[in-house]
Amino acid sequence: MARGLATTFGRLTRRSVTAQYPDSLPELPPRSRGVIALLEENCTVCMLCARECPDWCIYIDSHKEEQPPATPGGKPRQRNVLDRFAIDFSLCMYCGICIEACPFDALFWSPEFEYAELDIRDLTHERDRLREWMWTVPPPPADDPGAVEPKEVEAAAKAAGRDTGAPSRRATGERAGPGGSAPAARPPRPPRAGPGESGA
């Protein structure tokens, strides 16, 4: 009890550290999770974000439009056009699954957090407001020069090597020699014995 009272009296003599919000805004981390911004030009209405959302707080409506063929005489194509993209932030738990699931980089984290409303129904934000937050998204951090190269880049480089016409080891039937320095040819397969032959 004496230690608790000592802590209390020690704090009484110190200056208050209360942040006077909103007169002084807090200093947030550069990649803080404030609100989700939408870049609708990148959205293909694949519905992955809405399907992966554990709270079902993303609402998407779209329609199909016929596009002219890419080549003369080709078949017309169908394209999904975004009609509505809304997020109910009264249900959102800011897990970021929708941003990770988006394969076309249409969703981003914005550090903006001042979007409180007097009515909970106003927390469902449509695509116009989500688009306005795109201008507050900070640029991505610089790459670490000492980081390991991503597996996707290595796979793309290998695929590009196969596309250039260079035969792969699997295609030529070669395998690495001792130490992996030079490829060693496979030994020839012995001829298969025919009917009535012993094969010896």
In this prediction, residue 43 carries a pLDDT of: 94
Which residues, other chains included, contact 37 with Cβ-Cβ below 8 Å and sequence gap of 6+? 107, 108, 109, 110, 130, 131, 133, 134, 136, 137
Q: Which residues pair with 81 in a beta bridge?
A: 63
Distance (Å, whole) CA 98 – CA 54: 9
Q: Print burial letters for 53-75: b (CB count within 10 Å at least 16), e (below 16).
A: beeebbebebeeeeeeeeeeeee
C-beta separation of 105 from 61 below 8 A:
no
16-40 residue pLDDT tens: 778 888 888 888 887 788 899 999 9
pTM over 0.75: no
To the nearest whole number, what is the mean pLDDT of the chain? 81
C-beta separation of 77 from 10 below 8 A:
no
Nearest alpha-carbon partner for 131 in 57, 36, 61: 36
Residue 66 is encoded by which pair of tokens? Answer: 């016929």
Residue 194 is encoded by which pair of tokens? Answer: 């025919």
In this prediction, residue 163 carries a pLDDT of: 59
In this prediction, residue 171 carries a pLDDT of: 44
What is the percent of the chain where pLDDT is above 70?
80
In this prediction, residue 173 carries a pLDDT of: 46
The average pLDDT across 100-123 equals 92
Q: What is the 3-state secondary structure (H, E, C) of 86-105?
A: EEECCCCCCCCHHHHHCCCC
Q: Taken in order 11, 16, 18, 19, is the CA torsion positive or negative?
A: negative
Q: Which of 19-23, 46-50, 141-145, 196-200 has the highest mean pLDDT?
A: 46-50
Distance (Å, whole) CA 112 – CA 110: 5
129-170 residue pLDDT tens: 999 999 989 888 788 888 888 888 888 888 888 655 544 444
Q: What is the amino acid identity at position 8?
A: T
Enumerate the H helices of the chain as residue ranges. Answer: 2-12, 48-52, 97-101, 127-132, 151-163, 169-172
In this prediction, residue 104 carries a pLDDT of: 93
Which residues, other chains included, contact 186 with Cβ-Cβ below 8 Å and sequence gap of 6+? 173, 174, 175
Domain limits, the chain:
28-69+77-136
CATH of domain 28-69+77-136: 3.30.70.3270
Planar angle of CA 24, 28, 33, nearest 5 degrees? 130
